[in-house]
Amino acid sequence: MQHNSTGRDGDGASTTGGTGTIELAAGGFRPDTELITASGPTRISELSAGDRVYAFDLTTHLIKLKRVTSVQQVTYDGDLVALETNRCNLHVHPEHRIVCRTIGQDELRIRPAEALEDYENYKLANDWRTLPGERLEEVDITDFVDDYEMCAETDVHGHTVRARLPEGCEPVRRNGHVGYCFDPETFEAHQEAIESIAAEVFIHAGPNHHRRPYRFDGDDFVEFLGWFVTEGSTTWPTSSDTIQIQIAQQDEEHRPAIRDLFDRMGFAGHTDSKSFSFSSKVFGRLLESLCGTGSHEKHLPAFVWDLSTNQQELLYETLLAGDGSECGTYYTASDRLAAQLCRLLVELGLKPKWTNRRGTWRVCGRDVNDGFMSSQNVRRVDSSGTLYRLTMKDYSSVLAGRTGIFQWVGVSRVS
């Protein structure tokens, strides 16, 4: 299994602008405008050449992470055009490109903000598609951890097993009377051979530690990580050399799903009316590495961005089941997780909205037919000062907005 954080951008190395740049419009965003990037919402004033931003192609409706090739800071003395609705908040230079269509039109078009006609009904860009990721069929956690021991249990005599092991595949010790134990380096080098002679293979941290499965169905692993991110914790008991992994859940609606998941994954442990738990130093380290520790540090694993859409949806639905409301708002104290959820929503074809109230992030996504009326939602505002002009690689529109709400809108240049 490959696990990285590049995402499905289809983009080459970053560029710095210059030759080959196409001027689209003067335009410019206010400094407090945020764009959805590979790390979540980021203020345009904090962007640099090489950063990756979600960008939209008006012809194909395909979105990809594309490189910022230039961010130009300019001084502006004059009015801005404010486009404000419950789902849109943009303050832009009068020449800035607005992506929209009038009622009755099928195709999106570009209009300068200053040319949005009074009494017209407009629709914004509401539909897009992403490059499909690959379904994660199976997960072998030895791809993620390097401090463990493998226990190969066999049905045949030890001398027979040793004779069938390839040269250099030396066990570190006997596994009782039923097999042998191998260190990570040996198992990685000879995994296929070891698995072929074993009746069962388990992973643990060493002698006197519980043996656990190490291969899992991809959907089960994604769901398990979703429950851990939203309801999970790790604790190192002072009385034992292990890590306690707990999934808290009191809601009877969701407890059967977690119970069945633990059964499918082979996580024998303890269950009470409030939680499900088991002990494992290997899995504790794995979960802390992939998903963080504590409510303020939780985050999504890097390989999430390469998953199939169905598995990304499974992850999101699991998160909502843990810490979401009935209306689909997710609550978290983690800055990083909130930002990643905004990106996940974009991958799922939903427009994100995020706010922070007293240290708690509220993130929600909506599949809505957003639009506006010029006479009600467009006005001029006095906003002399600094504007930011954005040059993007290949694509001419980005997902941007203020006050935590976002819409597809044009940029100043394409390179």
- What's the CA gap between 259 and 335, in Å, rounded? 30
Residue 13 confidence (pLDDT): 39
Q: What structural domains and CATH numbers belong to the chain?
A: 22-126+368-414 (2.170.16.10), 149-204 (no CATH), 215-366 (3.10.28.10)
Edge-first strand listing for the sheet containing 88-92: 88-92, 79-85, 378-382
Residue 8 confidence (pLDDT): 61
Residue 95 confidence (pLDDT): 97
Q: Which residues are CB-neighbours of 244 under 8 A, at least 6 positions away?
A: 234, 235, 236, 237, 277, 278, 279, 284
Determine contact, residues 372/83, Cβ cutoff 8 Å: yes
Residue 15 confidence (pLDDT): 37
Residue 174 confidence (pLDDT): 83
CA-wise closest residue to 329 among 287, 363, 284:
363
> What is the maximum alpha-carbon separation in the chain?
88
The neighbouring-strand residues paired with 311 are none
- What's the CA gap between 4 and 259, in Å, rounded? 30
Residue in the block written with tokens 């069945």: 260
Residue 311 confidence (pLDDT): 98
CA-wise closest residue to 379 among 101, 124, 89, 32:
89
- The count of residues in the chain is 415
Q: How many CB atoms lie within 10 A of CB 269?
A: 17
Q: Is 250 helix (H, G, I), strand (E, B) or coil?
A: coil
Residue in the block written with tokens 């990721």: 133
Residue in the block written with tokens 């980005």: 398
CA-wise closest residue to 74 among 100, 96, 97:
96
- What's the CA gap between 162 and 164, in Å, rounded? 5
DSSP for 101-125, written as a single string:
EETT--S-EEEEGGG--TT-EEEE-
Residue 9 confidence (pLDDT): 56
Dihedrals φ, ψ of 348, to 5°?
A: -90, 5
pTM of the predicted protein model:
0.92
- What's the CA gap between 183 and 172, in Å, rounded? 7
Average pLDDT of adjacent 10-residue blocks, the chain of 415 residues: 49 48 94 98 97 97 97 95 97 97 91 93 96 95 96 78 87 80 96 93 93 97 98 92 95 95 96 96 97 96 97 98 94 98 98 97 94 96 92 97 98 97
Residue 29 DSSP code = B
CA-wise closest residue to 14 among 52, 40, 63:
52
- What's the CA gap between 406 and 396, in Å, rounded? 16
